[in-house]
Structure 1
Amino acid sequence: MNIVLYLKNLQGRGVQKVYLNLAKGLQELGCSVYFVIRENKIELDNKFLKHFYIFENIEVELDNLLSSLLNPILISNDVKITLNLKNINSKNIYYTVHMLWGERIFKQLRFLKWFELKQLYKNKQLIAVSDAVKKDLLTKVGIEPKSIEVIFDGFDIESIKKLANEPIDLSSDYMLNIGALSQEKNHKLLLRSYAKLNSPLDLIIIGSGKLEKSLKSLAKKLSIENKVHFVGFKSNPYPYIKNAKLVISTSTNEALPGVIIESLILNTPVVSTQSKGVSSILNGNLSPFVVKNSKLIEAISKALKNYPSIKVEDYDKFCYKKIASCYVDYISRRKNDE
């Protein structure tokens, strides 16, 4: 199977890492994978890719690549870039959706974006990264796709465990939060809850963003500035996750929060406020640790005292190899349905 994966660039740890893990899994399944970006911005290792291209004249060069392949499949998170392609049948194009568009559109009153999405995704073959994303697209955005399948983001479990063994210099025990210092991550709730806990554990916050100054001011106002450590962006956050006593997520809008999955992989307890994508991860014995904002302090205290054993089955479904197989299965089923 010839599969072309297209992204804008390889800058960042979000969808970029997801696509690289997908490429790795597809290659291991025997697929011929052609990875295409249009901007020469690369922060992630891509040496394992057998076919890698940077196409600045993206529409022309991508079309030329597609014309050279037998019955190619194109997977992308960008609908617009594919609208003018001539050398691929639309039934061979799949679009991944990694965010809760409805939540974002109506919160920010972006009604032109809502209309645009309805048009762009109409009669398209979609892959939603969680049940929450699928429901959001169908009910809140109101799209009418040709088909839609839920396939989780894939994670390289062994690589994460290996990277987590790198040494870090920390002198005291701590709780951890990872995320951009933005409104959606709700760090104000995190800081206020931490202040009321009066815990002997420090709080480390990994991430950068425009709210850093105001959040540091809030920490000072709450008299916790000596126990809360804003350490900025970390290219390898896994040792921090592995050594944390607890990871806390207070995000308000998460499609499939990768930090929570990575925490389970590293056997670190997690508490999260209610965010629609979280239920795909923290379920079963872990579901009591997904709570309303008002119950966050209580959940943190409970988690620190007695957290259920984290089992392989709590995170193994996110293994990149299994996710790649889900993609191949979905594509094969769609072909048979045509």
Structure 2
Amino acid sequence: MSNKKRILFIIDSLAAGGAEKVVLTLARTMVQSGHKVSIITADNKIEYDIDFAADTHTLDFKKSKFEPTYYKYAKRLQRLVGTLEQEHGAFDLVTAHLQKAHRLTAKAGIKKAYYCIHSTVSQGSLAGRSGIRLYFKRRRLKKLLDGKDIITVSNGIAEDLLKVVRIKPRSIRTIYNPVDFELIRRLANETNPYKNEDYIIHVGRLTPSKRHDILLQAYAKSGIKQKLLLLGDGPLKVAIQQLAHELGIADRVIFAGFYTNPYPIIKSAKLSVLTSDYEGLPTSIIESLVLHVPVISTDCPSGPREILTGNLANALSPVGDINTIAHNINAHITNHQNKAEINDSYIYRFTPQNVVSQYLKLAQ
């Protein structure tokens, strides 16, 4: 029997985002090891460069008012997987990532599928709901995930699923997200368009859960001279720009937008800051540490506490605590934390080879 496996990833899209980058890192590492990888996206949207030999397909998902959309595209997924297996052999491992892919995979009845959960469900899908709305949303989630094989990207997500959402899976395991140290460090040597600036950085989409309002208020209160560079795009850009004006810091906040290669920009930052209300396993923290950039983060559910261990745990702040975040920003800049203190022993468990080996154990 060949040790080379056929792996299928099903995901909403390959738009700019953390889960999408995780899937591409997994796929790239598997291909480099000689395995055959296929990727099926629900939406026809690809924003990352696919720099390896993967077999990619899209369902070209489009909502319709006149027909049951998920049923239609689940059938399309079922036919596509059947065709790929008929032409090239059965898949040894199937993983589905993000909510749309989860629903389509379940409705299509894809066998041997693992459902990968990338964020804290009670803080995301169930947030802001109460009473009957909360009951029915939790019921839909349980219908989708009960009896399934689940992978969570942090222990905190697993605990949330079991104790808060009360999912009853067939199996559940935590496999951390992979981060390609070698690739990140190589790409970080390219030209930084902000090389003449002195700045701290936030990496992430401009969305409500990232709490840029908290970030800007803490930055303003910190009193540091470095600028704040926001690396990412999103629907709250105008609101965040307006808040920067109201706080009198508009001339010190750089809206850099999205970069396919953000690493030269991250590498030159004096500090990387995360102020989220919730996460799954925030890759931006790990990538900053790979580049030996000091990190401060909210101690949100879930992930930061599992990444920032040992001496790095001093960088955690309570969620929403502007004063503590401001103090930590100032302290890290004032104390000039030595980048040499951030070594790979803190982050070895996130290497692609280590993570992929855990996935391949499931492909038996």
Percent identity of paired positions between Structure 1 and Structure 2:
32
Tell whether 2:332 aligns with 1:307. Answer: no
Distance 1:35 1:212 in 2: 31
Tell whether 2:304 aligns with 1:278. Answer: yes
Q: Give 1:274 deviation, angstroms.
A: 1.5
Q: Give SS of 1:126's match.
A: strand
Correspondence list, 1:26-175, <5 A: 26-55=30-59, 57-68=76-87, 69-70=89-90, 72-77=92-97, 78-85=101-108, 90=111, 92-109=112-129, 110-111=133-134, 112-170=136-194, 171-175=196-200
Change (3 A) 1:82 1:212: closer
Q: Give 1:70 deviation, angstroms.
A: 3.8
One-letter code of the match for 2:95? Answer: I
TM-score normalised to structure 2 length: 0.84
Distance 1:47 1:192 in 2: 39
One-letter code of the match for 1:82? Answer: T
What are the ranges of 5 or more consecutive residues in structure 2 without an aligned counterpart?
61-75
Q: Give SS of 2:124's match.
A: helix
Q: Give 1:153 deviation, angstroms.
A: 1.1
Question: Does the 8 Å CA contact 1:23/1:49 hold for their aligned counterparts?
Answer: no
Q: Which residue does the alignment assign to 1:335?
A: none
Question: Does the 8 Å CA contact 2:276/2:298 hold for their aligned counterparts?
Answer: yes
Question: Does the 8 Å CA contact 2:198/2:227 hold for their aligned counterparts?
Answer: yes
Q: Give SS of 1:241's match.
A: helix
Larger CA deviation: 305-314 vs 262-271: 305-314
Q: Give 1:315 deviation, angstroms.
A: 2.0
Distance 1:32 1:161 in 2: 26
Question: Does the 8 Å CA contact 2:219/2:329 hold for their aligned counterparts?
Answer: no
Q: Give 1:73 deviation, angstroms.
A: 2.3
One-letter code of the match for 2:53? Answer: L
| Aligned CA-pair RMSD | 2.0
Offset from partner CA, 1:63-85 (integer Å, 9 cap, x none): 22234524632211223223354
One-letter code of the match for 1:80? Answer: R
TM-score normalised to structure 1 length: 0.90
Q: Which residue does the alignment assign to 1:188?
A: 213
Q: Give SS of 2:126's match.
A: helix
Distance 1:33 1:157 in 2: 21
What are the ranges of 5 or more consecutive residues in structure 1 without an aligned counterpart?
333-338
Q: Which residue does the alignment assign to 2:238?
A: 213
Q: How many residues align?
A: 329
Change (3 A) 1:235 1:32: closer
Q: Give SS of 1:36's match.
A: strand
One-letter code of the match for 1:307? Answer: Q
Q: Give 1:38 deviation, angstroms.
A: 4.1
Question: Does the 8 Å CA contact 1:55/1:62 hold for their aligned counterparts?
Answer: no
Offset from partner CA, 1:182-239 (integer Å, 9 cap, x none): 2211112111111122211111112223322232222222222221222222222211
Offset from partner CA, 1:247-279 (integer Å, 9 cap, x none): 111111111111111100111001111212111
